[in-house]
Amino acid sequence: MNSLLISLKGLRRRQIIALAAVLVAAFGSTFGVFVVASESNQQSLEENQRLVVVRFGNLVNEVSVNGNIVFSNKETLSFGSSGTIAEVLVSDGQEVAKGQPLVRLDAETTSTLRVAVAQAKIDVQNAESALEAAGKTSLAEAEAGLDLAEAMAAFLNAQDELDQLRDPDSQDLAEADAAVSDARIALLEAQDDLSNPLAVAEAEEAVVQARIDLEDAQEALGQDLLDAIADVNAATKDLEAARQDLSIAPRADAIRTAQDNFETARENYLDVLDKWAGAEIAEGDPILSPPEFFEAWDFEPAIIYDRNFTLFPGGTIGDLPETKWNELTVYGWVWLYPDATSIEITCVDDDRSSSGNTISRRDANQELCIQRDFDDTWKVFSDARDDLESVLAQDTQDAAQAEADIIRAEATLADAQKTLDSLSEGLQAELLEKSLVVALAGLARADSDLEKLVSPDSDVVEGQRNQVALAQAAWDAASRDLEKLRDPDGIEMEVRATILALADAALSNAQSDLTAAVANRENEIVLRESELALARANLDAVAKRFGDSTLTAPFDGFVSGVRVEEGDEVGATTVVVEVIDPTIVRVDGIVDEIDVLSVNMGSGASVTLDALPNARLTGRVTSVSSAATADQGVVTFDIEIEVVVPEGLRLQEGLSAVANLALGEEQGLLVPSQAIHGTFNEPLVLVKSGALFREQPVTLGTSDGFWTVVYEGLSEGEEVVIEVQESTVQQLTGFRGFRARSGGGGGGGFQEHN
Per-residue pLDDT tens over the stretch 224-235: 667 777 888 888
pLDDT beyond 60 at 713: yes
- Which whole number is the average pLDDT over 390-402? 84
Check residue 316 and report its DSSP letter.
-
By CB neighbour count within 10 A (0-12 exposed, 13-18 middle, 19+ buried), where does 136 fall?
Answer: middle
Q: What is the pLDDT of residues 171-221, one digit of tens each?
A: 877 888 888 889 889 877 777 766 666 777 788 888 889 889 888 777 766
Closest to 23 in 3D by CA, of 748, 750, 576: 748
CA distance 273 to 324: 12
Of the listed ranges 3-7, 201-205, 300-304, 367-371, the least confidently predicted one is: 3-7
By CB neighbour count within 10 A (0-12 exposed, 13-18 middle, 19+ buried), where does 275 fall?
Answer: middle
Distance in angstroms between the alpha carbons of the first and the last residue of the chain: 36
* Bridge partners of residue 69, in order along the sequence: 587
pLDDT band at 24 (very low <50, low <70, confident <90, very high): very low
- Which whole number is the average pLDDT over 407-429? 77
Sign of the CA dihedral with 467 first, then 469, 470, and 472 last: positive
pLDDT band at 32 (very low <50, low <70, confident <90, very high): very low
Share of the chain above pLDDT 70, in %: 83
pLDDT beyond 70 at 428: no
Question: Is residue 138 situated within a structural domain?
Answer: no
Question: Is residue 294 situated within a structural domain?
Answer: yes
pLDDT beyond 70 at 460: no
Prediction pTM value:
0.36
Report whether 299 contacts 278 (CB < 8 A): no
The total number of structural domains that make up the chain: 2
Closest to 568 in 3D by CA, of 75, 88, 80: 88
Question: Is residue 291 situated within a structural domain?
Answer: yes
Secondary structure (3-state) at 612: coil
User: Residue 424: what pLDDT?
Assistant: 66
pLDDT beyond 50 at 48: yes
Question: Is residue 153 situated within a structural domain?
Answer: no
pLDDT band at 83 (very low <50, low <70, confident <90, very high): very high
Secondary structure (3-state) at 201: helix
Of the listed ranges 72-76, 165-169, 236-240, 540-544, the least confidently predicted one is: 165-169
User: Residue 709: what pLDDT?
Assistant: 92
User: Residue 19: what pLDDT?
Assistant: 54
User: Residue 261: what pLDDT?
Assistant: 95
Which CATH number do you get for residue 632? 2.40.30.170
pLDDT band at 248 (very low <50, low <70, confident <90, very high): low
pLDDT beyond 50 at 736: no
Residues 6 or more apart whose Cβ sits within 8 Å of residue 163: none
By CB neighbour count within 10 A (0-12 exposed, 13-18 middle, 19+ buried), where does 620 fall?
Answer: middle
Range of the domain at 700: 2-72+585-752
Question: Is residue 361 situated within a structural domain?
Answer: yes
pLDDT beyond 60 at 355: no
In sequence order, what DSSP letters do the residues of 41-97 get, joined into one string?
Answer: G-TTS-TTEEEEE-EEEEEEEEEEEEEEEEES-EEEE--SS-EEEEEE---TT-EE-
pLDDT beyond 90 at 72: no
Sign of the CA dihedral with 401 first, then 403, 407, and 413 last: positive
Comparing 636 with 60, which gets the higher pLDDT? 636
Question: Is residue 736 situated within a structural domain?
Answer: yes
- Which whole number is the average pLDDT over 608-631? 87
pLDDT beyond 70 at 733: no
CA distance 672 to 552: 60
pLDDT beyond 90 at 264: yes
> Which H or E run contains 558?
strand 557-562
Question: Is residue 119 situated within a structural domain?
Answer: no
CB count, 10 Å around CB of 129? 12
CA 737 to chain centre: 68
Of 386, 405, 424, the one marking the end of a domain is: 405
pLDDT band at 740 (very low <50, low <70, confident <90, very high): very low
User: Residue 559: what pLDDT?
Assistant: 93
pLDDT band at 314 (very low <50, low <70, confident <90, very high): confident
Question: Is residue 411 situated within a structural domain?
Answer: no
pLDDT band at 22 (very low <50, low <70, confident <90, very high): very low
pLDDT beyond 80 at 29: no
Of 405, 434, 450, the one marking the end of a domain is: 405
Of the listed ranges 11-25, 693-707, 733-747, the least confidently predicted one is: 733-747
Report whether 165 contacts 493 (CB < 8 A): yes
pLDDT band at 737 (very low <50, low <70, confident <90, very high): very low
Of 370, 405, 440, the one marking the end of a domain is: 405
pLDDT beyond 90 at 617: no
Share of the chain above pLDDT 90, in %: 27
Of the listed ranges 299-313, 319-333, 729-743, the least confidently predicted one is: 729-743
User: Residue 346: what pLDDT?
Assistant: 86
pLDDT averaged over the chain? 81
